[in-house]
Structure 1
């Protein structure tokens, strides 16, 4: 049976650290603590006194002063790891945690999981080829020597960097290493940890290299594990559930996140608010419980992205600067069908193709595999299509050799509608208004990743009103835009009313409009 030695780096809140250590060791696991040497000595003494009688707790023999982005964080981790290896010879796994981490599964579940997966869990992506670094320095982290902390000695940090760049003092990366990058929250097997400690003693050149690297806690273990362990024995992910906002700040979890956290495919989560006392108590009790069944829905990140993007006021719909001098064509007519239920719009488009000669393209800005002709590469991704929207539309008009074109858009694509209505071309809009029952909304949540097959009924019940409100919000925003040449059909409208709207939208006879309004099963889910 797996036995975990937790590696805890902390610097404050001694009472919480004592409570966390007691909770994690209650099920037979153990913990090695490194308390920042720059923190209050009284706090450290309080932790020592509070845990001195616990045989499953040990402390790093040497404490270091830690600074964000510095080698000191890696050294503190190594000191704690060495203490754990020596104190806990029966530990099979070493799991990196912070004072903000809490378990979201029971110890029994965690042990069973690790027994079933004979591998190391660590994010380990190629430093240069991956897109793991979103902003800031990339190769500058490695090829220049960093002697100062960017946060506490900003002027010296950038002065030292500029001097090295001006003098051409680039350094070489150790030739036998492929530099990797990833989250610092890993779980490694004992044999991997022992191999890593041996490597540290043997390769002083590698140690010197990383000691002057910027933010080495994101590269040191990630690189060495990949260097020492066969790729088939590495699962490139962290077992700690964490999220970041659009601004690069970690998302904090509170008391009402308990059910969401338990549904994630992870063993721990960070960052738990220090004020969420109820959540701390429930998760602490969970780890020592005998619960072995968890419904893993794993929708946390998708759900967070969805919820934080709702209801923003002041969305910009202005033309992009490279498109300000372009137009679809003054004599061209673009007809937009906006419908949240894509299958309904596609049924209507199929009928339009049968009864008119107007070409149509369905959801080309929403659906990755939309049926588009070969346009030289501009059509290959949704990102390219949206970025070069007007150029794409001109090419589609030219491809069909027509001055009239129908496209389908999701109501959320208000920026695209606004951009097209600002064009010199004639633009028309047909809104297909549909009703949404709970079954449809639940299916929609699963299709777009807001919920998984195992999402519980209580979670779904809380989610559905938000999704419904979001759809109503998109509809209202589209109507409030007050676009000219806008008509509407509805699943609750009469055939005659829908026929008039379709005929006006397409510029066809009322008879053709009625035929299309009577399309078999048009509004059926």
Structure 2
């Protein structure tokens, strides 16, 4: 059975570290601690004294003064890893942690998980081909030597960097290494760790190279694991759940995140807020528990993106050049059916096709599987359709040999509606306003990845009002935009009113509109 040696790098709050060590070793696992040499010596002595009788805790033989972005963080990790390898010969896995991490599964579950997945868990993407680095230096991290700390010695850091650039003092990357990049929070098998330590004994040139790269904790282990271990034995992800804001800052978790964290497909979470005392207490008791069943929903990142994105609704990017330069033509008419309940819009479209000669396309810019004629390949992916919206629709007009076309649009796509309303073609808009039951909203949350199949009722109860308000806000934005030719039908309105709106929208007779709207189950879920 798996036995985990936790590699803990920390620099503050010795009491929390003591508690963390006692919690994680209570189930038979072990821990090697590196406490930053810059930290208070008395705090370090208190920590060592409190844990001296715990046979499952050891300390790095040499403490390093650590700095963000420096080799010192990697060296401190290696010192703790070596201490764990020497002290715990029965450890099967080595798991990298910080003082801000806490287990979100039981030891029983973690051992089962690692036994079932005989792989190394480390996020590792190609340094040059991936977009893991969003801004700032990329290649310059590697081809120049970085001797100073960018945060505490910024003037020296950038002066040295600019001097090397001016005089062309670049260096080669070790020829046999493919540089990889990813999160520094990994879990490696014992064989892998021992291979890394042996490799470093044989290759001092690799240590020299990484010791002067910038932020090597994002590249060192990621590169060596890929270099030494077959790809099929690597799970390209971190086993620690962590998220970042739009500004690159780690997201903190608080007391009310307990159920969300337990539902994620990870073993630990980072980072737990220092103020989340209740969350820490509950997670601390969890690790040693037995017989706990976890229902994995794994919606955390989608849910975070949805909730934080509410403040950005309506933001529009500049037009692509092919959108600005493309027009459908003044003689054509586009009929946009805007509805959040896709099945309702599709039923209405089926009725329009059966009662009129106007061709209809369902959710062209939302649904990959939308039935489309062959347009030379531009129709094959949502990405292509969205990049070339007007071009795609113009080709649909030509393919159907018509000057009228009905398209379904999700209310969240205000940009799509604005784009067609800005064209020379005449655009008509029919919004379908549906009623949303709590059950429908829960189902919607699960379909779009905001909730899992096993989320507790309490968590869903908090999500429902947010979803309801979000849908109402999307509708408000459309109505507030003041589009010409805007009409609306409502689930709550009398059929005669909806028939009149459909007749005006499509420019058809009242009899045709009645035939279209006679479907009794149009609004049914």
Q: TM exceeds 0.5?
A: yes
d(CA) in 1 for partners of 2:275, 2:363: 45
Matches within 5 A, 1:320-339: 323-324=323-324, 326-339=326-339
1:188 is paired with a residue whose SS is strand
Q: In the alignment, which residue of structure 2 is the partner of 1:386?
A: 386
Q: In the alignment, which residue of structure 2 is the partner of 1:138?
A: 138
* Distance of aligned partners of 1:79 and 1:447 in 2 relative to their CA distance in 1, 3 Å threshold: same
Matches within 5 A, 1:211-230: 211-230=211-230
Matches within 5 A, 1:42-61: 42-61=42-61
Q: In the alignment, which residue of structure 2 is the partner of 1:64?
A: 64
* Distance of aligned partners of 1:126 and 1:314 in 2 relative to their CA distance in 1, 3 Å threshold: closer
- Shift in Å at residue 392 of structure 1? 3.3
d(CA) in 2 for partners of 1:372, 1:243: 38
d(CA) in 2 for partners of 1:284, 1:291: 16
Q: In the alignment, which residue of structure 1 is the partner of 2:362?
A: 362
* Maintained 8 Å contact 2:314/2:414: no
Matches within 5 A, 1:22-421: 22-312=22-312, 315-316=315-316, 323-324=323-324, 326-421=326-421
d(CA) in 2 for partners of 1:518, 1:170: 74
d(CA) in 2 for partners of 1:243, 1:198: 34
1:112 is paired with a residue whose SS is helix
Q: Which runs of 4+ in 1 moved over 6 A?
A: none
d(CA) in 2 for partners of 1:357, 1:32: 74
- Shift in Å at residue 313 of structure 1? 6.5
1:481 matches 2:484: no
d(CA) in 2 for partners of 1:464, 1:175: 55
* Maintained 8 Å contact 1:361/1:407: yes
Q: Tell me the alpha carbon deviations over residues 64-99 of structure 1, each in whole angstroms, 9 at most, x when there is no partner.
A: 111111111110100000111111122111110000
Q: Tell me the alpha carbon deviations over residues 98-118 of structure 1, each in whole angstroms, 9 at most, x when there is no partner.
A: 000001111122122222222
d(CA) in 1 for partners of 2:314, 2:360: 32
d(CA) in 2 for partners of 1:134, 1:311: 22
2:363 is paired with a residue whose SS is coil
- Shift in Å at residue 359 of structure 1? 2.3
Q: In the alignment, which residue of structure 2 is the partner of 1:500?
A: 500
What is the count of residue pairs matched by the alignment? 525
1:500 is paired with a residue whose SS is helix
1:487 is paired with a residue whose SS is strand
d(CA) in 1 for partners of 2:150, 2:393: 47
d(CA) in 2 for partners of 1:267, 1:57: 20
d(CA) in 2 for partners of 1:494, 1:109: 56
d(CA) in 2 for partners of 1:470, 1:127: 38
* Maintained 8 Å contact 1:255/1:277: yes
Q: In the alignment, which residue of structure 1 is the partner of 2:437?
A: 437
- Shift in Å at residue 12 of structure 1? 1.2
* Maintained 8 Å contact 1:14/1:44: yes
Higher deviation after alignment, 465-474 or 73-82: 465-474
d(CA) in 2 for partners of 1:176, 1:312: 45
d(CA) in 1 for partners of 2:153, 2:395: 54
1:24 is paired with a residue whose SS is helix
- Shift in Å at residue 237 of structure 1? 1.5
After TM superposition, the score normalised by the length of structure 1 is 0.95
After TM superposition, the score normalised by the length of structure 2 is 0.95
* Maintained 8 Å contact 1:317/1:419: no
- Shift in Å at residue 55 of structure 1? 2.0
Supply the RMSD in Å over aligned alpha carbons.
2.0
Higher deviation after alignment, 72-81 or 151-160: 151-160
* Maintained 8 Å contact 1:365/1:386: yes
Q: Tell me the alpha carbon deviations over residues 401-435 of structure 1, each in whole angstroms, 9 at most, x when there is no partner.
A: 33222111001111221232233332110011111
Q: Tell me the alpha carbon deviations over residues 313-369 of structure 1, each in whole angstroms, 9 at most, x when there is no partner.
A: 663487567644554323322111001111111121122222222222221121223
d(CA) in 2 for partners of 1:396, 1:141: 48
* Maintained 8 Å contact 1:295/1:456: no
Q: Tell me the alpha carbon deviations over residues 488-513 of structure 1, each in whole angstroms, 9 at most, x when there is no partner.
A: 12223333222111110011111111
d(CA) in 2 for partners of 1:451, 1:250: 22
1:158 is paired with a residue whose SS is helix
d(CA) in 2 for partners of 1:313, 1:276: 30
d(CA) in 2 for partners of 1:150, 1:4: 34
Higher deviation after alignment, 449-458 or 394-403: 394-403
* Maintained 8 Å contact 1:178/1:227: yes
